[in-house]
Amino acid sequence: MSHRTLAGAGLVIGYERTRPVLDGATLTVPAGRRLAVLGANGSGKTTLLRCLSGALRPLAGTVTLDGVPLAHSRRGLREHRQVVQLVLQDPDDQLFSASVAQDVSFGPLNLGLPEDAVRSRVVEALDLLAVGHLAGRPSHQLSFGERKRVAIAGAVAMRPCVLLLDEPTAGLDPSAVADTLAALTRLQEHDSTVVMSTHDVDLALRWADDVAVVVDRTVVQGPPEDMLGNDALLARARLERPWALTVGARLRALGLLPEGTLPRDAAGLLAALPDRPGVPT
């Protein structure tokens, strides 16, 4: 897989022409990096990802891949979907075959690949998502968290350069969230660009290289610390400052953390705190 840059410029997207959900949204999905699309419920995250995937045609503006505008023709969309794959929030919108292996092979079979190539893609995708042991199981018998990972494996089997994941961690317990994030790291190591929509500011700070905040029917993009430390922006977006930024700032003010230290999660915070003789770590 090679790196490709997906972008949207001046996107007006909506379901009714008179009341667009997004009105002039511009963003770049930096190749090879992790982008979190953050926004409150109903702000338009899913709508934006659907547009970037080609599933929803913008009312105005353009989606581009390496600067080339997406053509909403049958051929243009087919080519786009070989590079950009969207995984929906609800895995049951994507899983409908008799077994996990059949669900994951659906896309590659549709590409007309020979059977052994399909088989090796299915094995690779299931392994990347650490769900190889589920290959023979009926998808509908799996837990919600397992179904979410199988749905991601289905998209991964298409070997996309850009993977758009709509709330991949929603409804998962902490260990399933950790498993999913580990799988996303493996995907990135396989040269995929990963985009995740979420309203979880703590997760975005800990995971993302870049953050795009969906706010006031547009998108504001920048480094996680800048976006998630901007209280005015967060208030407009109906989001809260991540706890690690608040606690980090307090500890710096108390002189317990060196200036410039920006822990992103509990492990980072503990690692940055000084050792004191007699205080257990």
Q: Summarize as ranges the residues that interact with ligand ATP (CB under 6 A).
A: 15, 21, 39, 41-47, 199
Nearest to 58 by CA among 98, 133, 8: 8
- In angstroms, give the least distance from the CB of 156 to ligand ATP: 22
Tokens describing residue 21: 């959900």
CB of 231 vs ligand ATP, minimal distance in Å: 21
Shortest gap between Cβ of 269 and ligand ATP (angstroms)? 28
Angle, alpha carbons 159-192-139 (nearest 5°): 55
The dihedral formed by the CA atoms of 106, 111, 115 and 117, expressed in degrees to the nearest 10: -110
Q: What is the β-pairing status of strands 60-65 and 210-215?
A: unpaired
In the bound complex, what is the minimum distance in angstroms from residue 13's beta carbon to ligand ATP?
Answer: 9
Pick 46 or 85: Cβ nearer ligand ATP = 46
Q: Compute the half-sphere exposure of residue 5: CA atoms within 13 Å on the CB side of its CA.
A: 9
Comparison of 45 and 149: residue with beta carbon closer to ligand ATP = 45
Output the smallest distance, CB 182 to ligand ATP, in A. Answer: 24
Task: Please say which residue, 44 or 168, places its beta carbon nearer to ligand ATP.
Answer: 44
- Closer by beta carbon to ligand ATP, 14 or else 242: 14
**CA angle (32, 39, 104) in 5-degree steps:** 50
Helix, strand or coil, per DSSP, at residue 234: helix
Which residue lies nearer to ligand ATP by CB, 38 or 269?
38
